Amino acid sequence: MSKFKKKKSGELPAISTASLPDIVFMLLFFFMVATTMRETTLLVENKLPYADQVEKLDKKDLVMYIYAGKPSPRFQSKYGTESRIQLNDKFADLKDIAPFIRAERASKREELVPLLITALKVDKDANMGLVSDIKQELRKENALKINYTTKKGDVSQNRN
């Protein structure tokens, strides 16, 4: 009687991979939700200094970024090694800051304009002359809330 056939013994059944896509999709959704895309490509060197008395900068849509630092090696032949400002995707001069702030403000809803913060992402080897000039421009435009973006760490790491 072969109604109850004995199972073949010894052969391992193949592991089902049918749930693999589900697992991968789960991971995929996690990263999709957690992702914030880099909006600008950096043209300048941007090693941020360290500080430990920091505040978090949430609400990324209310932040205007100003980058400053030495041009990256591939731009040094064209722009030299003196620290430069970068706004959006291109190098800028001091006089470009005011139009940049105005454009950023125009793109936001009116009630959000007073909440805008300017984040200064300045390379740690830049000198203060440039930073003071930027601050002066921001004062002229009445963009008074600023944030010196830093990495979290002890200040002694700034030495080298």
The SS3 of residue 130 is helix
Near another protein in 98-137, by CB under 8 A:
117, 119, 122-129, 131-132, 135-136
Nearer to another protein (CB atom), residue 9 or residue 160: 160
Q: Which two tokens stand for residue 104?
A: 């950023």
Rounded CA separation 45/157 (Å)? 18
Near another protein in 19-78, by CB under 8 A:
20-21, 24-25, 27-28, 31-32, 34-38, 49-58, 60, 63
CA 70 from chain centre, in angstroms, equals 18
Nearer to another protein (CB atom), residue 2 or residue 154: 154
As measured in angstroms, the least distance from the Cβ of 83 to another protein is 9
Between the two ends of the chain, the Cα-to-Cα distance in Å is: 85
The reply on whether position 97 binds another protein by CB under 8 A is: no
Nearer to another protein (CB atom), residue 35 or residue 107: 35
Buried b (16+ CB within 10 A) or exposed e, 107-139: eeeeeeeeebebbbbbbbebeeebbeebbebbe
Q: Can you give the binding site for another protein, defined by CB under 8 A?
A: 17, 20-21, 24-25, 27-28, 31-32, 34-38, 49-58, 60, 63, 117, 119, 122-129, 131-132, 135-136, 138-140, 142-152, 155-156, 158
